[in-house]
């Protein structure tokens, strides 16, 4: 089993749609969780950290479910500019080493 | 402006040749990292360093070497022992904390001639 697993997609949605991605992780000792966004052939950029209580940043909402060991990202009112690959990132157990998922690709169409 | 700079953007390697990828940061970060990304896959850690003159192997260190002689610089050498070097290489830096944010360079695409 991979340490961090994501559905590769692509998720193909119309502008204005709401879309959600899940990511599962295998190590119950993990403490740090992030969503990064990566455009084609570019470097990943931090989208948001994920906190236990859940957090929201504009159209983006991230949630953590420790019992089921998954994190989620919800994007409301999708824009064309949201088209990218979204990487789930989790620290390795109790260490600071970060493990990247293989990413979920989102395509927002007009 | 503070940031992390990788060069070159594109690099070609001949069989049996060693090549070095440059990574420089002026963010005053203690930790620096090298990742490899293959198409459709996540980032895999090659090497990391938390302090000058010290570094540790990541998950796929074979065929690579690094040095950390200065806080600002963490060059990666892809040696001839790396038989499948074609990939997108990303350098990153961060502060040392339990909830660290990674700052990435713009990446180097390495291809074999």
Residues of A in contact with B102 (CB under 8 A): 36, 44, 46, 98
Query: Per CB distance under 8 Å, which residues of A are interface residues toward B?
Result: 4, 8, 31-32, 34, 36, 41-46, 49, 87, 91, 96-103
Q: Does B63 touch chain A (CB under 8 A)?
A: no
pLDDT at A58: 96
- Mean pLDDT of the A56-73 span: 95
Cβ-based neighbour number of residue B47 at 10 Å:
22
A–B CB contacts, 8 A cutoff, strictly below? 52
- pLDDT given for residue A15 in this prediction: 98
Question: What is the band of A47 on the pLDDT scale with cuts at 50, 70, 90?
Answer: very high
Q: How far apart, in whole angstroms, are the C-alpha atoms of residue B50 and residue B56? A: 9
8-state DSSP, B81: T
CB contact under 8 A, B88 and A41: yes
Q: How distant is the Cα of A38 from the closest Cα of chain B, in angstroms?
A: 11
The 3 state secondary structure assigned to A38-65 is ECCCCCCEEEEECCCCCEEECCEEEEEE
Distance CA B66, CA A39 (A): 27
Distance from CA of B27 to the nearest CA of A (A): 16
Long-range contacts of B50-59 (CB under 8 A, 24+ apart): B50/B96, B58/A97, B58/B33, B58/B34
pLDDT of the residue at A57: 94
- 10-residue mean pLDDT profile of chain B (113 residues): values are 89 91 95 92 92 93 97 96 93 78 93 87
Given an 8 Å threshold on Cβ–Cβ distance, is A97 in contact with B45? Answer: yes
Cβ A91 vs Cβ A34: under 8 Å:
no
Burial B5-30 (b: 16+ CB within 10 A, else e): ebeeeebebeeeeebebebbbeeebe
Question: Could you tell me if B66 and B76 are in contact, meaning their C-beta atoms sit under 8 angstroms apart?
Answer: yes
Buried b (16+ CB within 10 A) or exposed e, A34-43: bbbbbeeeeb
Number of H helices, E strands in chain B: 0, 11
Predicted local distance difference test score (pLDDT) of residue B98: 52
Residue A14: predicted pLDDT: 97
Q: From CA A30, how far away is CA A46, in angstroms rounded?
A: 18
- At B39 the pLDDT is 87
A13-22, A99-108, B93-102: which has the minimum mean pLDDT? B93-102
Residue A69 burial by CB count (10 A; 0-12/13-18/19+): exposed, middle or buried? Answer: middle
Chain A closest-CA separation from residue B81 CA (Å): 25
What is the per-residue pLDDT for B85?
Answer: 93
């Amino acid at each position: 089993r991979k340490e961090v697993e994501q559905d590769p997609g692509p998720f193909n949605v119309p502008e204005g749609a709401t879309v959600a991605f899940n990511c599962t992780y295998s190590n119950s000792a993990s403490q740090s969780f992030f969503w990064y966004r990566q455009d084609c052939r570019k470097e990943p950029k931090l989208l948001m950290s994920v906190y236990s209580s859940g957090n929201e940043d504009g159209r983006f909402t991230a949630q953590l479910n420790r019992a089921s060991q998954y994190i989620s990202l919800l994007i409301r009112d999708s824009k064309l500019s949201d088209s990218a690959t979204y990487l789930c990132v989790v620290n390795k157990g109790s260490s600071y080493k970060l493990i990247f998922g293989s990413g979920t690709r989102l395509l927002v169409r007009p | 402006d503070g940031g992390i700079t990788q060069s070159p953007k594109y690099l070609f390697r001949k069989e049996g040749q060693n090549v070095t990828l440059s990574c420089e940061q002026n963010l005053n970060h203690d930790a620096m990292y090298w990742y490899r990304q293959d198409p459709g896959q996540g980032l895999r850690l090659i090497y990391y360093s938390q302090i000058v003159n010290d570094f540790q192997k990541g998950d796929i260190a074979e065929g690579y070497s690094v040095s950390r002689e200065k806080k600002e610089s963490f060059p990666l050498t892809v040696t001839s022992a790396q038989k499948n070097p074609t990939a997108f290489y990303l350098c990153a830096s961060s502060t040392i904390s339990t909830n660290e944010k990674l700052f990435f360079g713009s990446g180097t695409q390495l291809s074999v001639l």
